């Protein structure tokens, strides 16, 4: 993953949190195949199984799966590598960083939007908090990443972008 630039959309006209837009080279995330990177696995008491992989360059991939509700991503099947081998997940859900942070701990992750060559070709994903801080320092020095406690999910370690 080669990062060419980044900016923060403050979402000032909306009731949304600011988000990070990361510009990648033409290869984008092609080297980040979830079927080739080993995912950690966490079994929750509510029946959901969480999967998370962290690449050396700071990219994070995660999914939540529940065999009783396989309608995520329209019921599509995803191949995910685990220590036990390749697993096919039918209809997993994307979840959110706070859920993964609570389950797996460090390194914590943060949502990012990736674009390739144009701001109009976008895909959602996640990066480690450490990588987000590096990106902000290099491309968005007026912004910082701070710990945030969501009222609807106080047990989920989360972060938010804030102007310095």
Per-residue pLDDT of 25-54, as tens digits, reads: 888 888 999 999 999 999 999 999 999 999
DSSP string, 25-60: -TTTTTT--TTTSEEEEEE-TTS-EEEEEE-TTSEE
CA distance 34 to 55: 10
Phi, psi of 121 (to 5 degrees): -105, 95
Count of structural domains within the chain: 1
What confidence tens digit (pLDDT) does each residue in 2-25 have? 999 999 999 889 988 999 999 998
What confidence tens digit (pLDDT) does each residue in 111-124 have? 999 998 666 678 89
Residue 151 has pLDDT above 80, yes or no: no
Residue 90 has pLDDT above 90, yes or no: yes
Q: How confident is the model at residue 148, as a pLDDT?
A: 82
Residue 80 has pLDDT above 70, yes or no: yes
pTM here is: 0.91
Domain encompassing residue 132? 3-163
């Amino acid at each position: 993953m080669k990062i060419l630039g980044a900016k923060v959309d403050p979402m000032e006209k909306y009731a949304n949190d600011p988000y990070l837009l990361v510009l990648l080279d033409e290869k984008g995330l092609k080297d980040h195949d979830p079927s080739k990177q080993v995912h950690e696995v966490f079994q929750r008491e509510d029946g959901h199984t969480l999967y998370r992989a962290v690449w050396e360059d700071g990219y994070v991939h995660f999914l939540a799966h529940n065999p009783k509700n396989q309608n995520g991503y329209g019921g599509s099947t995803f191949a995910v590598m685990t220590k036990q081998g390749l697993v096919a997940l039918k209809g997993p859900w994307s979840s959110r960083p706070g859920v993964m942070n609570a389950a797996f701990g460090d390194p914590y992750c943060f949502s990012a939007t990736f674009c390739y060559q144009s701001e109009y070709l976008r895909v959602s994903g996640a990066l480690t908090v450490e990588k987000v801080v590096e990106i902000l320092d290099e491309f968005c020095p007026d912004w910082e990443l701070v710990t945030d406690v969501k009222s609807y999910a106080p047990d989920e370690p989360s972060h938010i972008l804030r102007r310095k």
